[in-house]
Amino acid sequence: MPKKIGILVGSLRKGSYSKIVAKALATQFPAGYETTFIKIGSLPFFNQDLEETQTEPGDWQEFRMAAKQCDAFVFVTPEYNRSVPAVLKNAIDVGSRPRGQNVWDGKPALVVSVTNGATGAFGANHALRQSLVFLNMPTVQQPEAYIGGVTKHIDASGKITDPGELKYFHSLADALVTYLLKLE
């Protein structure tokens, strides 16, 4: 049975650079690993009142079920105001609840931050890592994944086909696979 890698993209924009990077990265996993994109754009905002009154939105439950089926995760995010977009933080919060049923617990993660700027969305990368520590998600430390100046890697068809960049993405996928195998 193949290992399942869940991919969450922190940008909802139609032409999202993060989504382009995530799609290219998804092709770099070896045989025996299946990638699945977990949609987060329609998740209602987390509200503990809904949890406590047993009236949780069905979208929360579907999201948690999808995440539970994954063996590891790739988070690909832009940077909004030196942090992660609200949609990604909301997904993380929804998956962490109800208390004691954290779907992220113990599952390895790879954090990839993306920007057209020069910093590689460093702030978002590290803000996300703070949440993952609390959620008990062992996170790939090396290689670090700050994708700056991303548009220079995107071709006219909206894809990343640059062999050097794909080789780098392959090293990221390999790092997550290696980490996952060590934790088994």
User: In this structure, is residue 53 part of a structural domain?
Assistant: no
How many structural domains comprise the chain?
1
pLDDT tens digits for the chain (184 residues)?
899 999 999 999 999 999 999 999 999 999 999 999 999 999 999 998 888 777 888 999 999 999 999 999 999 999 998 999 999 999 999 999 988 999 999 999 999 999 988 877 889 999 999 999 999 999 999 999 999 899 999 999 999 999 999 999 999 999 999 999 998 8
pTM: 0.96
CATH number of the domain enclosing 33: 3.40.50.360
Residue 158 lies in a domain: yes
Q: Residue 51: inside a domain, yes or no?
A: no
Q: What's the confidence (pLDDT) of residue 50?
A: 86
Q: Quick one: pLDDT at residue 108?
A: 98
Residue 55 is predicted with a pLDDT of 82
Residues 6+ apart with CB under 8 A from 88: 8, 10, 40, 75, 77, 128
Q: Is position 52 within any domain? A: no
Residue 139 lies in a domain: yes
* Domain of residue 77, residue span: 3-46+58-183
Output DSSP code: residue 160. B
SS3 (DSSP) at 68: helix
Beta bridge partners of residue 112, listed in sequence order? 76
In the prediction, which pLDDT does 23 show?
98
CA dist 40 and 68 (Å) reads: 15
Helix (H/G/I), strand (E/B), else coil: 90: helix
CB-CB contact of 101 with 136 (8 Å): no
What's the token pair of residue 130? 């703070």
